[in-house]
């Protein structure tokens, strides 16, 4: 009877080992995906960060990059801990899983919270940013972001093209007779912003605020879904780890 129980326990441990190994392979790939989303947000989708008053959007991306990197390292550690049957490595693996779980939940919550307040922030700050910082010394990033925003989303001004009448750049005389930036034009040529007729510039209802809000909200949904989705998967990893740890402990005794 004792021999039967020993074989049964050993068989259960082997099953858990291979189950956890398979999980870690998938977990490593998930970490790569999380890190890729974070880098994608920072490298390709961060052009408009200079137009945002809050750093929350940037923070969520950085959290995903850090979490993804740690996930990949943890996945390798999990494989080592599984096949070497080292309980101290399993403890460390579980702790790292818990830390990553918390990081990704935080990223998801931040993304959701910022999603809710984005409209208010843009309404309060985007107009001032565009009219007071565009083409001003030390604000080259804002100038570039505004030009790209207006060209990419076919809009002009935060709410409409009339917002540019309050621009410090337009009022200063440095604009060369322009009433809107050249990036408002449907066909951009030097000095085309001197005429603000609908045939020449983009006149979109809701202005750039609506376009930028939709753009950022779409990416916040991706960040939040990835963070919370991977965090839910990690719950299974923590359960498998606890079961294997308990099984090894019973065998040891």
In a domain, 206, yes or no: yes
Specify the CATH number for the domain of residue 202.
1.10.1450.10
CA contacts within 13 A on the Cβ side of 1: 0
Distance CA 154, CA 202 (A): 6
* DSSP secondary structure of the chain: -HHHHHHHHHHHHHHHHHHHHHHHHHHHHHHHHHHHHHHHHHHHS-TTGGG-S-SHHHHHHHHHHHHHHHHHHHHHHHHHHHHHT-HHHHHHHHHHHHHHHHHHHHHHHHHHHHHHHHHHHHHHHHHHHHHHHTT-TT-HHHHHHHHHHHHHTT--SSSSGGGGGG-HHHHHTTTTT-SS-GGGBSS--TTGGG---TTTB---TTHHHHHHHHHHHHHHHHHHHHHHHHHHHHHHHHHHHHHHHHHHHHHH-
In a domain, 239, yes or no: no
In a domain, 83, yes or no: no
Written as tens digits, the pLDDT of the chain (253 aa) is 444 344 444 666 677 777 777 877 887 888 888 888 888 877 766 677 778 777 777 777 787 788 788 888 888 887 777 777 677 877 888 888 888 888 778 877 887 888 788 878 887 788 888 989 999 998 888 999 999 999 999 999 998 899 999 999 998 878 888 999 999 999 999 999 999 888 899 988 778 988 888 888 887 887 778 777 777 877 877 787 777 777 766 555 5
In a domain, 55, yes or no: no
In a domain, 29, yes or no: no
In a domain, 166, yes or no: yes
In a domain, 91, yes or no: no
Distance CA 232, CA 239 (A): 12
Would you state the pLDDT for residue 23? 79
Range of the domain at 156: 105-228
Would you state the pLDDT for residue 248? 66
Would you state the pLDDT for residue 3? 42
In a domain, 122, yes or no: yes
Number of domains in the chain: 1
């Amino acid at each position: 009877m004792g021999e039967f129980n020993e074989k049964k326990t050993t068989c259960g441990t082997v099953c858990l080992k291979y189950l956890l190994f398979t999980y870690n392979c998938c977990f490593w790939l998930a970490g790569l995906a999380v890190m890729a989303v974070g880098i994608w947000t920072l490298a390709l989708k961060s052009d408009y960060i200079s137009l945002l008053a809050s750093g929350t959007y940037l923070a969520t991306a950085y959290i995903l990059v850090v979490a993804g990197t740690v996930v990949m390292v943890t996945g390798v550690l999990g494989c080592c801990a599984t096949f070497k049957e080292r309980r101290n490595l399993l403890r460390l693996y579980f702790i790292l899983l818990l830390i990553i779980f918390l990081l990704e939940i935080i990223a998801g919550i931040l993304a959701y919270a910022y999603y809710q307040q984005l409209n208010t922030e843009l309404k309060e700050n985007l107009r001032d940013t565009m009219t007071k910082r565009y083409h001003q010394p030390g604000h080259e990033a804002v100038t570039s972001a505004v030009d790209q925003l207006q060209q990419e989303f076919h809009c002009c001004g935060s709410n409409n093209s009339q917002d540019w009448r309050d621009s410090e750049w337009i009022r200063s005389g440095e604009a060369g007779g322009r009433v809107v930036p050249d990036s408002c034009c449907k066909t951009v040529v030097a000095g085309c912003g001197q005429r603000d007729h609908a045939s020449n510039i983009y006149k979109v209802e809701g202005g750039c605020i609506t376009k930028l809000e939709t753009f950022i909200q779409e990416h916040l949904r991706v960040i939040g879904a990835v963070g919370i989705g991977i965090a839910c998967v990690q719950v299974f990893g923590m359960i498998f780890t606890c079961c294997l740890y308990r099984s090894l402990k019973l065998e040891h005794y």
